[in-house]
Amino acid sequence: MLRVGLTGGIGSGKSTAARRFAERGAVLVDSDVLARDVVAPGTTGLGEIVATFGTGVLAPDGSLERPALAAVVFGDPEARARLNAIVHPRVRERTEELVAAAAGDAIVVQDVPLLVETGSPAAFALVVVVDADPEVRVRRLVDARGMAEADARARIAAQASDDARRAAADVVLDNGGSPEALRAAVDDLWHGRLVPFEANLRARRPVPAPSGRPVEADPRWAVDGARLASRVARAAGRGAHGAHVGPTAVPGLPAVDVLDLQVGVDPATIDTVRTGLDAAGFPRVDGGTSAGEWWHGGADPGRPVRVVLRPAGSPAWRATLLWRDWLRADGASRAEYGDRPTSSSTSFTRAEEWAASSGWTPSLDE
């Protein structure tokens, strides 16, 4: 099963994209729909809301009167937090039930409007963001949904910035054009990436990392590396730390387009860690173990990665972080050693000297 998170700012076209994924065969889990279901008449959710906010939030027929509830929590962060504490756990529970009920080879697309603001992007094998210029979104919300312009602008301003959303995205679907163009982009993503990703994940088959000559540094490597480091750390389980390492983690350095990720682990839990990575789309590489390290790859054909697990705090774990941070900090070392696939003992001596003089210590989180 492949779990895909779908998000986008209000009016971006997220629901339009979601419908297309469903037409292609995705199991769609819509957070907005679940948020309504869990407070429908007769639910414990509605019972708790009435117990907390009073019967004034009910319509005459006993259903929740949303505008009345919105008025109660508007501008009152504490009331909003109490409401969220009733709704969010129930939405999460219902989501997990629906995901658990999906077939083993399903591609589950979760439509989560506030994925970046309140969700856990790292819980998904892939995050897809639908993107459109804010002015285009305002116009669509006003013209197609009949929203007041000031209301549309206020809602857009209250959400995550487009930059924050793009940083969380593995894939950005541009919806600046026609709805047909968006649907065609969904179709391409489905056939070109999601279907083979799911098949690779299920077969526990890593995609081969590209080899060959380094290419010009890509500024997206840093953003992609940070996102994938969080994802592998989460897949590896409690206490694991993920870091983007290797040549793509040094800004400006030409490199082969494969992201290196190092996960610091507790070797006592290695079997659980490896199983977690296999299930999350980072399958183990056959024969990929040597003393004190374990290798995994990625099942996503759109983003080659190499993942190495090492005991947190071990010499090799530390040296990998030191090498990266030294090259990041020292332009001369970058020019001299940056293109070496492996480091020499001379360079390591210099890296250690730099660590001693700068007071460097390995940082666990990024």
- HEC per residue, 327-359: HHHCHHHHHHHCCCCCCCHHHHHHHHHHHHHHC
Residue linked to tokens 């007041």 = 148
**Does residue 11 have a known ligand-binding role?**
yes
Q: What sign does the dihedral 141-143-146-152 (CA atoms) show?
A: positive
Pick 178 or 357: Cβ nearer ligand ADP? 178
Output the smallest distance, CB 43 to ligand ADP, in A. 25
Stretch of 8-16, 66-74, 90-98, 187-195 lying at the interface with ligand ADP (CB under 6 A): 8-16
Smallest CA-to-CA distance from 245 within 286, 236, 232 is with 232
Residue 8 C-beta: closest distance to ligand ADP, Å = 5
Structure tokens given for 54:
């009073």
Query: Are the beta carbons of 210 and 245 closer than 8 angstroms?
Result: no
By the 8 A CB rule, do 175 and 132 touch?
yes
Q: How far is the CB of 326 from ligand ADP (least distance, A)?
A: 44
- Is 16 within any annotated ligand binding site? yes
Nearer to ligand ADP, 142 or 256 (CB): 142
Which residue from 16, 272, 289, 314 is in contact with ligand ADP, where contact means CB under 6 A? 16
Residues whose CB is less than 8 angstroms from the CB of residue 251 and which lie 6 or more positions away in sequence, other chains included? 217, 219, 222, 328
Smallest Cα–Cα separation from 236: which of 260, 264, 258?
264
Q: Which residues pair with 171 in a beta bridge?
A: 128
Nearer to ligand ADP, 132 or 253 (CB): 132
Chain-centroid distance of CA 36 in Å reads: 25
Task: Kindly indicate which of the ranges 5-13, 93-101, 244-252, 256-264 contains the residues binding ligand ADP, using the contact rule CB under 6 A.
Answer: 5-13
Site string for ligand ADP, 181-200 (x = CB under 6 A): -x------------------
> To the nearest whole angstrom, how small is the minimum distance from the Cβ of residue 153 to ligand ADP?
14
The minimum distance between CB 48 and ligand ADP, in angstroms, equals 28
14 is in an annotated binding site: yes
* Strand partners of residue 262: 243, 308
* Nearer Cβ to ligand ADP (23/366): 23
Buried b (16+ CB within 10 A) or exposed e, 118-132: ebebbbbbbbbbbbb
Residues 6+ away with beta carbon under 8 Å from 175: 8, 12, 13, 16, 17, 130, 131, 132, 181, 182
Has 12 been labeled as part of a binding site?
yes
Secondary structure class of 64 (helix, strand, coil): strand
CB 285: neighbour CB atoms within 10 A?
A: 17
Q: Which is nearer to ligand ADP, 61 or 143 (CB)?
A: 143
Closer of 183 and 234 to ligand ADP (Cβ) = 183
What is the CB-side half-sphere exposure of residue 336 using CA atoms within 13 A? 14
Looking at 13, 45, 119, 283, which residue binds ligand ADP (CB under 6 A)? Answer: 13
Q: Which residues pair with 261 in a beta bridge?
A: 244, 307
For ligand ADP, the closer of residues 47 and 177 by Cβ is 177
Q: How many chain residues bind ligand ADP (CB under 6 A)?
A: 15
Tell whether residue 15 is among the known ligand binding residues.
yes
Return the range that interacts with ligand ADP (CB under 6 A); candidates 3-11, 147-155, 223-231, 255-263: 3-11
Task: Reduce the DSSP state of residue 61 to 3 states and report it.
Answer: coil
* Span interacting with ligand ADP, options 70-78, 175-183, 189-197, 306-314, rule CB under 6 A: 175-183
**Which of residues 2, 3, 8, 156 is near ligand ADP by CB under 6 A?**
8
Q: Which is nearer to ligand ADP, 160 or 270 (CB)?
A: 160
Q: Which of residues 115-174 bind ligand ADP (CB under 6 A)?
A: 140, 144-145
**Does position 14 bind ligand ADP by CB under 6 A?**
yes
Judge whether 342 is annotated as a binding position. no
Residues that bind ligand ADP (CB under 6 A): 8, 10-16, 140, 144-145, 175, 178-179, 182
Which segments are annotated as binding site?
A: 11-16
| Residues placed in the known binding site for ATP | 11-16
